[in-house]
Amino acid sequence: MKKIIYNKLVRDKIPEIIEQTGKSCTYSILSEEEYLNMLDAKLNEELAEYQEDKSMEELADLLEVMKAVALARGSSLEEVEEIRRAKANKRGGFEKKILLEEVIES
């Protein structure tokens, strides 16, 4: 019998999907504090995966985790989008591809 230890946050349907393949798994439900910690780790994991292959699927996974973080912290992706929009209106976005090289004080 082969056993693989993961100890990582997974999507809600993963245990069901594993069992549908004839395998079994053990899992637990995290406390709110543990959940927030694991979400932070998942953000790092998904960002690293996106950085590795630059696929839109990995970017979508990152967005899904960001949605979960917003909800877990009592907000929503819509509220985050409103904050993003306000910040873009005030400070701009990244469309102009500006690389700030230095600032000189006189």
Question: What phi, psi does 48 have (nearest 5°)?
Answer: -60, -40
The identity of residue 33, as a single letter, is: E
Output the CA angle 81-47-9, nearest 5 degrees: 95
Say which residues have a Cβ less than 8 Å from residue 19's Cβ, sequence separation at least 6: 25
Taking the complete model, does pTM exceed 0.85, yes or no? Answer: yes
Q: Which residue has the tokens 């929503």?
A: 76
- The pLDDT score that the predictor gives to residue 1 is 87
Tens digit of pLDDT at every position of the chain (106 positions): 899 999 999 999 999 999 999 999 999 999 999 999 999 999 999 999 999 999 999 999 999 999 999 999 999 999 999 999 999 999 999 999 999 999 999 9
CA distance 57 to 90: 30
